[in-house]
Amino acid sequence: MRLDAFRRRAWSRSRRALVSATALALAAGGMVLAVAAPASAARVDNPYAGAEVYVNPEWSAKAAAEPGGSAIADQPTAVWLDRIAAIEGVGDGMGLRDHLDEAVSQAAGQELVIQLVIYNLPGRDCSALASNGELKADEIGRYKTEYIDPIADILADPAYAGLRIVTVIEIDSLPNLVTNVTPRETATAECDTMKTNGNYVTGVGYALAQFGAIGNVYNYIDAGHHGWIGWDDNFGPSATLFAQAATASGSTLSNVTGFITNTANYGALKEPYFAIGDTVNGQAVREHAKWIDWNRYVDELSFAQAFRQRLVQAGFDSSIGMLIDTSRNGWGGADRPTGPGPRTSPDAYVDGGRTDRRLHLGNWCNQAGAGLGERPVAAPEPGIDAYAWIKPPGESDGSSEFIDNDEGKGFDRMCDPTYEGNVRNQYNMSGALPNAPLSGHWFSAQFQELVRNANPPLQ
Ligand code: BGC
């Protein structure tokens, strides 16, 4: 496996050198100039260590235009390639090359990470509707040739060899094949289809193989969050499935730098006022508090660190690192508890002390009361490569009512504040903010609430 990894990297280096020499030869009318291709450094263990991170000028301008937004407008956020058209740029928007060119200029000779979200699988987001995507369940061929291949071609351009390119691989995909398929009562027909046709696994493997062949790309697979795969029934099977996907389509485990948790979700990084092992009046909160409901974890950091170990057990290299999306999991502001809840019952204790104030852990759309979380930082804790802002704060998770569109966005009632829920959130209210635009569109009121409820607070 290691030898294979070495070969892939060596091959990709020589491919790049070749492409570059050819380009120069063409530019010089056939004369090969004596200009060396930019050397690509070997992959480092943690790409974020000692590096700046790309600030997306488009997000930054929107943030800066909001009241209070200038305090965070210079924070790095990810670029989402959420449809084929995003590669060239939607409307007047920047395309992938524009972002990479801008990244080269922001780097100014220093190490710089640019974060790209690869998000366009066939039958995308099979358990929800707000981000269904443009490719039908069986369009794996288009995924490869019209989406992954063109992105890989651009990333392999020698002009970008000096960047550290982080790819977040396909959120909303693999964990669905564990939790939302038959015979679980949470199954959806769409997730059953994606499990049966194998296209999530094939697509993820293909993306990893293509990007893994480029020496300066760092692949991080989406690993859900503690409120999704923190239960024993989901934890091990997810790790096994990730190993299967990472070895599909000719990929090997060594194409994986790590995993990311909490992408676009709201799970608290640390719950300071209760722990999974606590008991109240002799009753274990893990078993008796409805909020926890037998989960093994109460927050993202403990989950991410434990899941890293489980992934290594499943075969991934012991050098893998985790990212945690902390863009919207701050839960600060006036309603944040300042100490543990009363020890009158497990529910009173956990509900009184928890900083994550969602109505249910399964709620995911435009959550009312949320705040910005930890600012992006490299290597904050053992096993964690970085806290990162992957979901750009201020971009909606989905519309609160049906809005016609040509972006492959459906209407999911989990984004409707009047919705009384479904089996996946145990029939709780959705907790979503009202008047939200389509997923990915700017949601000013949400941005302003995130700023107000930031934790740590903004200076
Ligand atoms: C949307 C994408 C958007 C992304 C980031 C997703 O929910 O489907 O269109 O780019 O969020 O905001």
* Mean pLDDT in consecutive groups of 10 residues from the start of the chain, 459 residues: 31 33 36 40 93 98 97 98 97 97 97 98 96 96 98 98 98 97 96 98 98 98 98 98 98 98 98 98 98 98 98 98 98 97 98 98 97 98 99 98 94 97 94 98 98 95
Does residue 89 lie within any of the structural domains?
yes
Does residue 3 lie within any of the structural domains?
no
Helices within 289-388 (DSSP H only) = 300-313, 346-353
| Distance, CA of 332 to CA of 315 (rounded, Å) | 38
| Distance, CA of 178 to CA of 194 (rounded, Å) | 11
Does residue 446 lie within any of the structural domains?
yes
- Determine contact, residues 346/285, Cβ cutoff 8 Å: yes
Position in ligand 1 atom list of the atom nearest CA 398:
7
What per-residue confidence (pLDDT) applies to 267?
A: 98
The vertex-144 CA angle with 395 and 188, nearest 5°, equals: 60
Quick check: CB of 80 below 6 Å from ligand 1?
yes
Does residue 33 lie within any of the structural domains?
no
Distance between Cα 413 and ligand 1 center (Å): 17
β 79-81/52-53 pair status? unpaired
Closest Cα to atom 11 of ligand 1: 440
Does residue 277 lie within any of the structural domains?
yes
Closest Cα to atom 2 of ligand 1: 440
Choose the residue to mutate in 367, 409, 412, 439 for probing ligand 1, maximizing ligand atoms within 8 Å of C-beta.
439
Does residue 85 lie within any of the structural domains?
yes
| Distance, CA of 284 to CA of 276 (rounded, Å) | 8
- 297 exposure class (CB count in 10 Å sphere: 0-12, 13-18, 19+): buried
What per-residue confidence (pLDDT) applies to 33?
A: 38
Verdict on whether the full-model pTM lies above 0.85: yes
Quick check: CB of 291 below 6 Å from ligand 1?
no
Does residue 1 lie within any of the structural domains?
no
Position in ligand 1 atom list of the atom nearest CA 407:
9
Does residue 268 lie within any of the structural domains?
yes
Q: What domain range includes position 137?
A: 40-452
Quick check: CB of 376 below 6 Å from ligand 1?
no
Closest Cα to atom 5 of ligand 1: 440
Quick check: CB of 134 below 6 Å from ligand 1?
no
Quick check: CB of 412 below 6 Å from ligand 1?
no
What per-residue confidence (pLDDT) applies to 14?
A: 34
Distance between Cα 306 and ligand 1 center (Å): 28
CATH of the domain at 428: 3.20.20.40
Q: Which residues pair with 380 in a beta bridge?
A: none
Position in ligand 1 atom list of the atom nearest CA 131:
8
Return phi, psi of residue 200, to 5°. Answer: -70, -45
Total domains present in the chain: 1
